[in-house]
Amino acid sequence: MSDKLNALPEWISRGLEDLFPCNNSEDSDQSFIKRLELSLIEKKPLRIKLGIDPTGTDIHLGHSILFRKLRAFQDAGHTAVLIIGDFTARIGDPTGKSKTRIQLEKDEVESNAINYLEQLGLGKEPKYSLLDFSTPGRLEIRRNSEWLENLNLSKVIELLSNSTVGQMLAKEDFSNRYKSGIPISLHEFLYPLLQGYDSVAINSDLELGGTDQKFNIAMGRDLQRAFGQKPQFGMLLPILVGLDGTQKMSKSLDNFVGINEDPLSMYSKLEKVPDKLVYSYLNLLTNESINDLSSNPREVQKLMALKITSNFKGDEAAKKAQSNSQKLVLGTKDSLEEIPEASISKISFPAKAFYLFSKMELCTSSSEARRQILGGGVRIDGEKILDPNLEFQTPNDVIGKILQVGKKKFLRVSG
For residues 339 and 326, give the distance between their C-alpha atoms in angstroms, rounded to a whole number.
13
- Domain check: are 61 and 91 in the same one? yes
For residues 304 and 116, give the distance between their C-alpha atoms in angstroms, rounded to a whole number.
25
What backbone phi and psi angles, to 5 degrees, belong to 189? Answer: -65, -25
For residues 47 and 263, give the distance between their C-alpha atoms in angstroms, rounded to a whole number.
34
- Domain check: are 128 and 216 in the same one? yes
Q: Going by DSSP bridges, is the β-strand pair 378-380/402-405 parallel, antiparallel, or unpaired? A: antiparallel
- Domain check: are 14 and 156 in the same one? yes
- Domain check: are 327 and 401 in the same one? no
DSSP 99: S
Q: Are the beta carbons of 92 and 191 closer than 8 angstroms?
A: yes
- Domain check: are 93 and 41 in the same one? yes
- Choose the final residue of a domain: 290, 312, 335: 335
122 Ramachandran zone, left/alpha/beta (phi>0; psi -120 to 50): beta
For residues 81 and 137, give the distance between their C-alpha atoms in angstroms, rounded to a whole number.
10
- Choose the final residue of a domain: 306, 335, 364: 335
Instruction: Name, in order, each residue with C-beta under 8 angstroms of 198's C-beta and a sequence gap of 6 or more.
Output: 49, 51, 83, 85, 88, 144, 147, 148, 204, 220
- Domain check: are 187 and 124 in the same one? yes
Q: Dmax over Cα atoms in the chain, in whole Å?
A: 76
Please compute Rg for the chain using Cα positions: 24
| pLDDT of the chain, 415 residues: tens digit per residue | 566 777 889 999 999 999 999 888 888 889 999 999 999 999 999 999 999 988 777 899 999 999 999 999 999 999 999 999 988 887 765 655 544 555 667 888 888 889 999 999 998 888 889 999 999 999 999 999 999 999 999 988 998 888 888 888 888 888 888 888 888 888 888 888 999 999 999 999 999 999 999 999 999 999 999 999 999 999 999 999 999 999 999 888 889 999 988 888 899 889 889 999 999 999 999 999 988 888 888 889 999 999 999 999 999 999 988 888 877 665 555 555 566 778 888 788 888 888 888 888 888 888 888 988 888 888 887 678 888 899 888 888 888 778 888 766 778 787 6
For residues 54 and 92, give the distance between their C-alpha atoms in angstroms, rounded to a whole number.
10
Tell me if 252 is assigned to some domain.
Answer: no
The pTM of this model reads: 0.77
What backbone phi and psi angles, to 5 degrees, belong to 190? Answer: -70, -25
Q: What's the total number of domains in the chain?
A: 3
- Domain check: are 118 and 218 in the same one? yes
Number of Cα atoms under 13 Å in the Cβ half of residue 228: 0
Three-state SS at 413: strand
String of DSSP letters for 138-186: SEEEEETHHHHTT--HHHHHHHHTT--HHHHHHSHHHHHHHHHT----H
- Domain check: are 348 and 331 in the same one? no
Cis, bond preceding 350 (omega within 30 deg of 0): yes
Q: Are the beta carbons of 94 and 188 closer than 8 angstroms?
A: yes
Q: Quick one: which of 23, 24, 28 has its CA closest to 40?
A: 28
Q: Which amino acid is at 63?
A: H
- Domain check: are 17 and 142 in the same one? yes
For residues 254 and 332, give the distance between their C-alpha atoms in angstroms, rounded to a whole number.
28
- Domain check: are 52 and 147 in the same one? yes
Q: How far is CA 183 from the centre of its chain?
A: 29
For residues 316 and 310, give the distance between their C-alpha atoms in angstroms, rounded to a whole number.
8
Task: Enumerate the β-bridge partners of residue 412.
Answer: 341, 402
DSSP H helical ranges for 271-338: 278-285, 297-313, 315-330
**Domain range spanning residue 351?**
341-414
Q: Quick one: which of 205, 206, 225, 209 has its CA closest to 162?
A: 225
